[in-house]
Amino acid sequence: MPLDLQIRAMLERAAAAPAIPLSQLPPAVVRDGFLASILASLGEGYEPVPLAEVRDHTIDGSVPVRIYRPRAEATSVPVVAFAHAGGWVLGDLETHDEVCRHLSRSLPAVVVAVDYRLAPEHPYPAAVDDYWTAVCWLAEHAAELGGDADRLAVIGDSAGGNLAAAAALRAREAGGPHIAVQALAYPTVDATLEYGTRPGGSYTTCGEGYGLTLSTMRWFVDCYLPDPAARTAPDASPLLADDLSGLPPAIVATAEYDPLRSEGAHYAHRLAQAGVTVTHLDAGGLVHGFLYQTRVSRSADRARQAFVDAVREALGARLDDLTEVQA
């Protein structure tokens, strides 16, 4: 499909602004810019989706999270451990607050967003360790939050999708906790960057001019995985895991003009080959990051809703749950 016109306009505005290579800036400055760009995309007049409860919490005194509850009384709705995008370097609870509110209300589910440690200050495996801690905590405390531990989903976008996929692998190896579904939005699953840079791969066709670039991905990987030998570890590069059998059902969303499209699509293919139930959603005409571009592009909004609908179906969310929350 042609590039979505509203996304094209967004990219043109971004290209017209002066740009300094991210590697030449302090990480704190880049983080501020990432948050500012997401808040700007929400536009004037944005009002956060109302929920019964939104509160911050710290797990074991070390892993900050934000808990979103669609309604206050215990209802045994699904529970979600959410990991945000940002190349393991950027992002926090604020960058994805709108996304998490939408997930909590639309699934509906108790959503726990994880403020995992960021690189380069905290390189691999800090991020995946923090996220794994949160997944295990949520499985243990789901009932206290009004959730159903048997309907636990790990969900993440981009680098967060990497962490969600890694958690699914860890849970299989550890024999738990039970994960009902892994939902990966435009995930990075190959930290070597080799698959997408092959001839015809999406890094070669979309590595410049579509928002996320190959050079930015190289900087992200250098920050998070400074030791090249660690980049092939399964919880750094799930695509390179020898065995993908026995993993929870997967929803993998990719975008047509995303440099990560090739690795995400191939991961969905490898999961299916291993006998995992897979739903692959490919968003035509869109770019990396469509979960938080919904107020910029109607097509992005439809793609996000398709992703949420697939998660809801996989979790077996009850229609009466959804109707009551939206009433």
Query: What was the pLDDT predicted at 75?
Result: 74
Q: Is 142 helix (H, G, I), strand (E, B) or coil?
A: coil
Query: What was the pLDDT predicted at 324?
Result: 54
User: Is 158 marked active-site?
Assistant: yes
Q: Is 92 helix (H, G, I), strand (E, B) or coil?
A: coil
Query: What was the pLDDT predicted at 21?
Result: 86
Edge-to-edge strands, sheet with 77-83: 53-59, 63-69, 110-114, 77-83, 147-157, 181-185, 250-255, 278-283
Assess contact for 247 and 215: CB atoms under 8 A: no
pLDDT tens profile 247-292? 999 999 999 999 999 999 999 999 999 999 999 999 999 999 999 9
For residue 89, give the DSSP letter: T
Annotated catalytic residue within 157, 258, 297, 299: 258
Annotated catalytic residue within 288, 297, 299, 321: 288
Annotated catalytic residue within 41, 104, 106, 158: 158
In one-letter notation, the amino acid at residue 287 is V
Query: What was the pLDDT predicted at 327?
Result: 47
Instruction: Count how many Cα atoms sit within 13 Å of the Cα of residue 292 in the half-sphere of its side chain.
Output: 27
Regions of the chain where pLDDT drops below 50: 319, 327
User: Is 178 marked active-site?
Assistant: no
User: pTM of the full predicted structure?
Assistant: 0.96
User: Is 141 marked active-site?
Assistant: no
